[in-house]
Amino acid sequence: MAKKQFKAESKRLLDMMIHSIYTHREIFLRELISNASDAIDKIYYKALTDDSLTFSKDSYYIRITADKDQRTLTISDSGIGMTKEELEENLGVIAKSGSLAFKKDNEIKDGYDIIGQFGVGFYSAFMVADVVTVISKALGSEQAYKWESKGADGYTMEASDKESIGTDIILKIKENTEDEKYDEYLDQYRLKAIIKKYSDFIRYPIKMDITGRRPKADQENEYEDYTEEQVVNSMVPIWRKNKNELTPEDYENFYTEKRYGFDKPIKHVHISVDGAVRYNAILFIPESIPFDYYTKEYEKGLELYSNGVLIMSKCADLLPDYFSFVKGMVDSEDLSLNISREMLQHDRQLKLIAKNIKNKIKSQLLSLLKDEREQYDLFYDSFGRQLKYGVYSDYGSNKEDLQDLIMFYSSKEKKLVTLDEYVSRMPEDQKFIYYASGESIERIEKLPQIELLTEKGFEILYFTDDIDEFAIRILTNYKEKEFKSVSSGDLGIEAEDKDNNTDTVQEENKELFSFMKEILADKVKDVRASKRLKSHPVCIATEGELTVEMEKILKSMPN
Ligand code: ADP
Ligand code: MG
């Protein structure tokens, strides 16, 4: 049989394709299943527009069959099929997309689900197969054809037999080498997992025969082998369902199924946007901290889908660092994908989505804070630190986004309070938002510096987290009220205490003070009389940029 040659460029392209475009070999299955789904979409579309064609819904399916002995993996579909010419054009010419042409010819606008557009996905099969055989019978034709190729050196074509309309793609899976294992692509559980991962929301059933061994009914200690046809994919993604029809349990199950976490999420949001960029998203605020959360290993990100097909498992660009705890997914039909569909061409759409999502998360957290304080406390216990880091690594609008979400322990309330709560309680004569830093609440309460303020009835925020004071320094003020450390030189209240005349005290004890200063020469800058002390004889005050606590933290940090 005469072998037709790929054009030279095609050869190079095919090599490049096989070796460099895709980072994950397993995506070949995603590509072939997507093609099968496109083919069914097309026949479905034809049936909708041509009354002479009638199909029942269950005649649309995709079937995956693995044969370990033959080392073949077959992907069959009941789609529109390909004529001899189409086999030549679509599979013989690399970067020719019959699907894109179909969309154009039929004037199918965006929003339709056809996935194909680049005309390269098919060749990813050569990442795992030595030989690829395509047997196809097109809608409206009597004769089936067989296309076969071993990769870069061309393909053969001949007439073939096939009963029903549709396509079988048969991959002869490569032998294992020392470095590479290909056997996994013949293993039913591995295949099932790959399908679940990338193609769970393909709209047609993906069927597979699953074999196993099970106890015989009614007979003890007796087992039987069984083969059972299963539909592997869930088909309708939860995010395309009507929100009103979904229960909280549905979302929780989705969270568990997707392995976003082992906890029960505190809150979920289901977003459907039909604006400049259309997308659906489901986001979760987890309750507990992932074990690696505060380490370098933790990877933030949301799952990114394009038309129900997984593109990226962790798209980091969708989340700001300070919301890195959020789990979930985004599905958009408006993304410009690059050829491998692993990356995005332009990030304009992505940026828009990310911004939108950030605002959603923020408003969800604010409403949690307002309406479900206990839940918010639970959340804050896990991720509050991350929000404070966010304020500290001030970046664009971080401050504005986060200042209403952070909380500190209050000397008055004996629990965490927001800055807004603090400020709204401030008496008129209080100029500053006071805070005291220390290792623990107990220790802070013993600080001599807080005595005067407490006596005056002023509320003090206790900073027990390393990051607290650093974050607040970045914030500098909240609702125009400046933050003031209790150990700073000027608390802004002393002057009002007229009866306690420190100037005289300072004068009278001048010699004592300079003597003390001499002894403590390299430890203190000055020794002065203070109006601040009540029952304690002495306290440390700072005048410079850093407080004693901050210096301690900086000194303890590795260089
Ligand atoms: P794309 O899907 O981006 O168009 P592919 O390389 O995956 O590119 O496929 C090339 C073309 O081959 C498709 O556009 C389609 O016309 C045709 N094709 C591939 N697989 C099938 C199939 N299972 N049934 C019908 N046509 C197919
Ligand atoms: Mg394709």
122 marked as binding residue: yes
The confidence score (pLDDT) of residue 509 equals 77
Closest C-alpha to 483, from 465, 495, 470, 496: 470
The CA distance from 447 to 487, in Å, is: 9
pLDDT of residue 494: 56
CA dihedral 264, 267, 272, 277 (to 10 degrees): -100
Q: Is 35 annotated as a binding residue?
A: yes
Q: Higher pLDDT residue, 528 or 160?
A: 160
- 120 labeled part of a ligand binding site: yes
The residue whose CB lies within 8 Å of the most ligand 1 atoms, and thus the one to mutate among 22, 41, 99, is 99
Q: Is the CB of 35 under 6 A from ligand 1?
A: yes
Atom nearest to 123 CA in ligand 1: 6
Compute, in angstroms, the gap from residue 1 CA to the centroid of ligand 1.
25
* Residue 36 CB–ligand 1 contact under 6 Å: yes
Ligand 1 pocket check for 78: Cβ under 6 Å: no
Q: Could you tell me which of 485, 484, 445, 439 has the C-alpha nearest to residue 465?
A: 439
**Mutate which of 29, 32, 38 for ligand 1 pocket (most atoms within 8 A of beta carbon):** 38
Regarding the beta carbon of 126 and ligand 1, being less than 6 Å apart is answered: no
Q: Considering the entire predicted model, what is its pTM?
A: 0.74
Q: Is residue 43 lining ligand 1, measured as CB closer than 6 Å?
A: no
Return the DSSP state at 93.
Answer: S
pLDDT (0 to 100) of residue 497: 52
Other beta carbons within 10 Å of 362: 18
**What's the gap between Cα 196 and its chain centre?**
18
Name, in order, each residue with C-beta under 8 angstroms of 383's C-beta and a sequence gap of 6 or more: 289, 325
> What's the whole-number mean pLDDT along residues 477-489?
88
Distance 463 CA to ligand 2 centre (A): 56
Angstrom distances, CA of residue 372 to CA of 71, 267, 378: 57, 10, 10
Residue 95 per-residue DSSP state:
T
Judge if the beta carbon of residue 99 lies within 6 A of ligand 1.
yes
Q: Would you say the CB of residue 97 lies under 6 angstroms from ligand 1? A: yes
**Ligand 1 contact via 37 beta carbon (within 6 Å):** no
**Using CA atoms, how far apart are residues 17 and 19, in angstroms rounded to an integer?**
5
Among candidates 372, 452, 370, 438, which has minimal Cα distance to 409? Answer: 438
In ligand 1, the atom with minimum distance to the C-alpha of 120 is: 6
- Nearest atom in ligand 1 to the alpha carbon of residue 121 is 7
| pLDDT over 60 at 316, yes or no | yes
Alpha carbon of 183 to ligand 2 centroid (Å): 24
pLDDT at 333 over 90: no
| ipTM for this model | 0.99
Contact at 8 Å (CB) between 484 and 472? Answer: no
Atom of ligand 1 nearest to the CA of 35: 20
Q: Which two tokens stand for residue 124?
A: 């990813």
* Ligand 1 pocket member 145 (CB < 6 A): no
Q: Hey, what's the torsion of the CAs at 122, 123, 126, 128, to 10 degrees?
A: -40
Q: What is the mean pLDDT of residues 118-137?
A: 90
Name the most confidently modeled range: 180-189, 240-249, 528-537.
180-189
Q: Which has more confidence, 15 or 37?
A: 37
Query: Which atom from ligand 1 is nearest to the alpha carbon of 31?
Result: 7
Q: Is 116 in the pocket of ligand 1 (CB under 6 A)?
A: yes
For residue 553, pLDDT over 80 is answered with no
Counting ligands in written order, the one closest to the CA of 39 is 1
Highest mean pLDDT out of 62-71, 151-160, 476-485? 62-71
When pLDDT is cut at 50, 70 and 90, the band that residue 111 belongs to is very low
